[in-house]
Amino acid sequence: MIIIESALTDFLLINKLDRKQQRLMANLVNVGEATPYIVNTFNKRSKLRPRLKKFGIYVKLIFKDIQNVSQEENYQQLLDKYLKDIGWNDLQYIAFITYSSDYAQIEIILNRVISETKIIDLKCLKASRRQYKILHRAYTQMCK
């Protein structure tokens, strides 16, 4: 398992991911809406903090040599558990997935703006041991 995290200056990556991958799930945005609407929804929330230069967080979760787990619902549960346990489940986000019989990749775009007075600090980026433990536990539960 690999966790990659970085900051985003805009939400245009949503357009690219939406063309190449399957939507998995979302929070505070309707996953069924058209891509421009979704990007606009993210931009609208980010305007609550206009002085920020980096509005978003990009997370990539990579699973190699996995058991044959190809049901979307299983990955939704895994992602939900992971985001809850790291405390990001209440953020605005959209997640995309690509998978095969032995590989899965989930890419998540999160809006770090929570409100006019609250944001997620970028100092928390870079996956910790705790995050790997949480992800491993969520994956193990998914495979049961």
Phi first, then psi, for residue 97 (nearest 5°) are -135, 145
d(CA 36, CA 72) in angstroms, rounded, equals 24
Evaluate if residue 86 carries a pLDDT over 70: yes
Query: What is the reported pTM?
Result: 0.90
Domains of the chain, by residue range, sit at: 2-143
User: Angle of helix 13-20 relative to helix 35-46, nearest 10 degrees?
Assistant: 150
Q: Per-residue pLDDT tens for 90-129?
A: 999 999 999 877 788 999 999 999 888 888 888 888 878 8
For 63, half-sphere exposure in the C-beta direction (CA atoms, 13 angstrom radius) is 26
What single-letter DSSP state applies at residue 86?
H
